[in-house]
Structure 1
């Protein structure tokens, strides 16, 4: 079997506005399930609005790579370690490592994510609102009421005391 060649143009893939507390948006660029890639993965970018954050979470069955493209912020890892998130920084999260990302107050934080195996793209599509080129940023909107169910059906495990 020949592995396919896939080229995604700028602005290609699907984009989704994200609810609070991250706000901002996600661009889902590639997912091996969409083209028959041999190694299961999904990758894209996420822009977290200034002063906003990605909630503390854990992926029990997935490994994740985060590469900071623009902006700055802080990563909280395993509930105790803080590390700066600045352009060029790269993080590898093995299965079961909790993490939270906070954008600095002075501007958005944009990073590339790579999830192995995939599934994060499904989560983003289910909690977000589709974003189209030229859209204006929407007012902050809440997460779906069934977000915990969506998390459990995709790539997340619940954290005690976190909702």
Structure 2
């Protein structure tokens, strides 16, 4: 009988994770199956400079939770704009198309969490518009 991997208490500093710009902005997956053996979801943080965006996508298995720490952004949820500012939180339902735009004058910084995990990492995001950045999409790891 194989036992499930154990989640380990893990500290990951924002500055220890390289920025990922493939979907736009500066996104960093901090706590995930890959970094700490998480089994319920993954958490990260991201910065959008004025004029930057994260391209539209949806999550067929996960809800996504945002908390805006600094600045403002427009979350486009199934095409409808929702303005969010520092101190606001928002839950994106499973399968809802969403895109994040910083159409303000200052940097926006947010923390996000997605859960539950998709059966495989490649099934977690479905992109619905071209990806604007260079490199690979963020890697969260997978269930073992």
Fold similarity call, TM over 0.5: yes
Output the TM-score relative to the length of structure 2: 0.71
CA RMSD for the aligned pairs? 2.6
Q: Which residue of structure 2 lines up, in the alignment, with residue 71 of structure 1?
A: 71
Corresponding residue for 2:18?
A: 15
Instruction: Report the alpha carbon displacement of residue 28 of structure 1 after superposing the two structures with TM.
Output: 1.9
Tell me what 2:51 maps to: 51
1:27 matches 2:28: yes
**Cα distance in 1 for residues equivalent to 2:14 and 2:44:** 12
Aligned length: 124
Q: Which runs of 4+ in 1 moved over 6 A?
A: none
**Number of the residue aligned with 2:95:** 96
C-alpha contact 1:75 1:99 (8 A) present in aligned 2: yes
Q: CA deviation at 1:158?
A: 4.7
Query: Using a 3 Å threshold, how does the CA distance of structure 1 residues 36 and 71 change in structure 2: closer, same or farther?
Result: same
- C-alpha distance in 2, partners of 1:44/1:4? 17
Deviation of residue 70 (structure 1)?
A: 0.9
- In the alignment, structure 1 segments of 5+ residues that lack a partner are 123-152
Q: TM-score, normalised by structure 1?
A: 0.64
Task: Mark the CA change 1:50 to 1:32 in structure 2 (over 3 Å): closer, same or farther.
Answer: same
| Structure in which a larger fraction of residues adopt helix | 1
Q: Which has the higher contact order (CA 8 A, sep 6+)?
A: 2
CA distance in 2 between partners of 1:65 and 1:54 (Å):
15
Shift of 1:104: 2.5
**Which residue does 1:155 correspond to in 2?**
124
